């Protein structure tokens, strides 16, 4: 749909006040300033898109004037606190933001700060749902939000950062080595993959819909993957490792049934037992959208 260039943004916009925490009392400032960095990233992302693409271009791509107006609200809120499609990318960014706030919550010691972070988390989740709905994904694909640790969040955010002033202090995080989904997997929004909708001139067949549980997916790492490695899927409150088939830089495994919606995938040296251990991470995270299973309702429970 739309092509948008990488953002020229300093990930350490608030870097002068971010330092490696030496005392427990300093952790709140570190977490909140890191969250502010994400807000700056998303703010610039939306501003660039709205400056580059007009309402007419959005409508030609199949999106309503109401959707375009809602994007302005999101950009406004960001200021106050497409290769790949812009809409799809914005959905991914919002999902990462939601995971970042959720994952950072246990690190905050001040109840007042925690309330502020919780309030922003609600807005992040609303933005995520709106964008997922716009690309025909289930807004609430997973019953639970997916918390993500700061290092994983920074690894993902760093992909969108093109430059940073040399004078800025470094963030207290070192990104993991990169991992990418191999082959063609996409959301239903992509024109070459999307099913026709009555308000959009899309007549192409499904060609690259997201995988479902039980489907095999291959990931490509930045370096060779060690034999015996696992693909670890982080989705909702589940952390599930699956033994992978390794071939050079590639590793393949079946998507576990616990993975639903926007899922974060890592190559790990061990099978993670319900909790991701940073020391076990060799590559990742990669972001994989997974189709949720058909909903079921047990009406007997209401009797």
Quick count: other Cβ atoms within 10 Å of Cβ 277? 13
Edge-to-edge strand list for the sheet holding 250-254? 179-181, 216-221, 250-254, 245-247
Question: How high is the pLDDT of residue 197?
Answer: 39
Question: How high is the pLDDT of residue 35?
Answer: 62
* Digit-coded pLDDT (tens) for 16-35: 222 333 344 455 555 555 66
Question: How high is the pLDDT of residue 95?
Answer: 84
In sequence order, what DSSP letters do the residues of 55-115 get, joined into one string?
Answer: HHHHHHTT--HHHHHHHHHHHHHHHH-----HHHHHHHHHHHHHHHHHHHGGG---HHHHH
Structure tokens at 40: 């700056």
Structure tokens at 292: 């949720």
* Digit-coded pLDDT (tens) for 118-156: 888 887 878 778 778 777 788 888 889 999 998 998 898
List the chain residues with pLDDT less than 70.
Answer: 1-46, 49, 70-87, 160-171, 183-208, 299, 301-303
Question: How high is the pLDDT of residue 55?
Answer: 76
Are 207 and 187 spatial neighbours (Cβ–Cβ below 8 Å)? no
Question: How high is the pLDDT of residue 29?
Answer: 58
Question: How high is the pLDDT of residue 12?
Answer: 32
Structure tokens at 120: 């922003």
Domains for the chain: give ranges and CATH numbers. Answer: 15-160 (no CATH), 179-290 (2.60.40)
Question: How high is the pLDDT of residue 139?
Answer: 83
CA 143 to chain centre: 17
CA distance 237 to 258: 9
């Amino acid at each position: 749909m739309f092509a948008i260039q990488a953002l020229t943004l300093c990930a350490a916009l608030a870097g002068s006040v971010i330092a490696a925490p030496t005392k427990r009392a300093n952790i709140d400032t570190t977490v909140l300033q890191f969250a502010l960095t994400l807000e700056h990233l998303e703010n610039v992302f939306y501003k660039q898109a709205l400056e580059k693409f007009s309402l007419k271009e959005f409508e030609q791509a199949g999106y309503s004037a109401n959707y375009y107006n809602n994007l302005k609200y999101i950009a406004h809120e960001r200021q106050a606190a497409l290769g790949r499609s812009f809409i799809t990318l914005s959905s991914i960014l919002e999902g990462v933001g939601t995971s970042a706030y959720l994952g950072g919550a246990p690190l905050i010691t001040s109840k007042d700060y925690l309330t502020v972070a919780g309030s922003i988390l609600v807005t992040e989740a609303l933005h995520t749902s709106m964008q997922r709905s716009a690309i025909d994904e289930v807004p609430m694909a997973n019953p639970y939000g997916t918390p993500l640790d700061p290092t994983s969040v920074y690894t993902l955010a760093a992909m969108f950062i093109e430059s940073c002033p040399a004078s800025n202090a470094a963030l207290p995080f070192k990104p993991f080595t990169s991992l990418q989904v191999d082959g063609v997997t996409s959301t239903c929004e992509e024109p070459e993959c999307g099913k026709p909708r009555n308000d959009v001139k899309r007549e192409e067949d499904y060609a690259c819909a997201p995988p479902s549980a039980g489907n095999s997916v291959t990931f490509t790492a930045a370096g060779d993957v060690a034999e015996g490695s696992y693909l670890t899927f982080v989705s909702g409150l589940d952390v599930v490792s699956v033994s992978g088939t390794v071939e050079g830089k590639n590793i393949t495994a079946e998507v576990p049934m616990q993975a639903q919606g926007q899922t974060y995938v890592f190559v790990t040296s061990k099978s993670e037992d319900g909790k991701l251990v940073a020391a076990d991470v060799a590559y990742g995270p990669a972001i994989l959208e997974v189709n949720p299973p058909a909903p079921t309702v047990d009406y007997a429970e209401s009797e």
